[in-house]
């Protein structure tokens, strides 16, 4: 009978939550920080795009490369961010990569075309 009691006590100890598990408040705090960093990154990339576009019109047309680069980087950052937020296990990595690369390619070509024709 003592062996059964010891077994049950050990089983209860194993089923208790470990102390290293992250609590609910820490998860919310880390999520808010991630949103803040994404917003800062998006704002910086958008500002770089606007600065590149303004300098391309005012100073030198080579600034178009900065505009196109910041546009593509902004789209990639937003796409990767949405991948982590809206994680879908039903799609395979090939499907995700193809749709992502297709969208980034279209945005890059549209940005380059807008920069060259402007």
Per residue in 43-59, pLDDT (tens digit) is 888 888 888 888 888 88
How does pLDDT run across 81-91, given as a tens digit for each residue?
A: 777 666 666 66
pLDDT at position 22: 64
Task: Compare 26 and 41 and report the one with higher pLDDT.
Answer: 41
Contacts of 51 (CB under 8 A, 6+ apart): 63, 66
Phi, psi of 66 (to 5 degrees): -65, -40
Q: What is the pLDDT of residue 6?
A: 83
Distance of alpha carbon 72 from alpha carbon 111, whole angstroms: 8
How much is the pLDDT for 80?
74
pLDDT of residue 2: 67
Domain ranges (residues) in the chain: 29-117
Output the pLDDT for position 20: 60
- Residue 39 confidence (pLDDT) above 70: yes
Q: Under a CB-based contact definition with an 8 Å cutoff, are residues 49 and 63 in contact?
A: no
Enter the pTM of the model.
0.54
């Amino acid at each position: 009978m003592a062996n059964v009691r010891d077994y049950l006590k050990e089983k209860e100890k194993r089923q208790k939550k470990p102390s290293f598990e992250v609590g609910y408040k820490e998860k919310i705090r880390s999520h808010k920080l991630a949103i803040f960093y994404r917003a800062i990154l998006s704002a910086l990339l958008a500002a770089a795009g606007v600065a590149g576009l303004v300098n391309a019109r005012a100073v030198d047309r080579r600034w178009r490369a900065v505009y196109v680069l910041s546009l593509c980087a902004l789209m990639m950052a937003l796409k990767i961010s949405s991948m982590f937020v809206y994680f879908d296990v039903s799609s395979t990595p090939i499907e995700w990569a193809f749709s992502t690369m297709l969208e980034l390619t279209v945005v890059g070509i549209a940005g380059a075309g807008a920069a060259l024709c402007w």
